[in-house]
Copies of this chain bind each other. A is one copy, B any other.
Amino acid sequence: MEAVLCYAPYIAQPLRSTPVLRDVSCPAPQCSICNQRALCLPGMTEDTAIGRVDRLVSARRRIKRGEMLYRAGEPFKSVYAVRSGFFKTFAITDDGREQVTAFHMGGEMMGMDGVGGEHYRLHALALEDSEVCIVPFARLEELSCEVRSLQHQFHRLMSQEIVRGQFVMLLAGMRAEQRVAAFLLNLSQRFAARGYAANEFNLRMTREEIGNYLGLTLETVSRIFSRFQDSSHIEVQQKHVRLLDPGSLKKLLQQAQAA
């Protein structure tokens, strides 16, 4: 599997801003008082043990929009918990294209692509000003043996990454409309799980990034947004989306087809 895909080091920087990597350690990173706590590594850890979980995070880091959090090929030492902001991860394929593999929001882990290897396999880029907690992986492995609930939550989060992959696999048999519908519903749910409005949100990524992720062109994504708007499924204006009728989007996904 490895050799088929070349995870070439990311070279060009014709990105957004100047990707200058800054490491801003914020004072006293504490899981115990973090609002992402429930979804993140601490999970259901009881208050008696939460103090030990605090030791997990070595530092925090602010990443400006357009900056890279890590690059494929860099030595893998840490995973990251997104405190705030929005990221995409992507690979550079054999033919030199960029392929978006996932979008990450608050409370989700990043850097799991490096687990079990010496290096990260993917590139991670902030799509808006963001902040992450740096979790040295060795420390995570150690602590997870001491604190059972941490071990469980860690495995849960790894598994979540696998499920995220399965989401993309399910796209394989879908039409463009269904893919876009699934994408919007997926985002909606994840926002909802984080206490944001489920039916009204701002897309942090461009049409091109959406299309790349879904295996469509940006034009197709744009057209389908317009079509969904015409049929009153949603309201779109640039990055702002409102799901007028999530139920009808779900129905779209249930419409069987031949293939």
Contacts and interface: CB of A to CB of B under 8 A. Distances in A.
Interface string A148-188: 00011001111111111111111111000000001001100
A8 to B, nearest CB: 11
A93 interface: yes
Contacts of A97: 173, 256-257, 259
A89 to B, nearest CB: 9
Interface string A133-145: 0000000010011
Nearest to A182: B4
A254 B94 contact: yes
Contacts of A157: 116
A113 B163 contact: yes
A259 B217 contact: yes
Contacts of A217: 259
A101 B164 CA distance: 12
Contacts of A113: 159, 162-163, 166
Interface string A212-250: 111101000000000000000000000000000000001
A40 to B, nearest CB: 14
A253 B92 CA distance: 12
A24 interface: no
Contact of A170 (B5, B171, B253): B5
Nearest to A76: B159
A47 interface: no
26 contacts: A1-B163, A1-B190, A4-B182, A93-B173, A93-B253, A94-B253, A96-B254, A96-B256, A97-B173, A97-B257, A101-B166, A101-B169, A113-B166, A115-B162, A116-B156, A121-B163, A121-B166, A122-B166, A141-B155, A158-B159, A158-B162, A162-B162, A171-B215, A172-B212, A172-B213, A173-B212
CB-based closest 8 A-B pairs: A165-B165, A116-B156, A172-B215, A116-B159, A145-B145, A115-B159, A95-B256, A94-B253
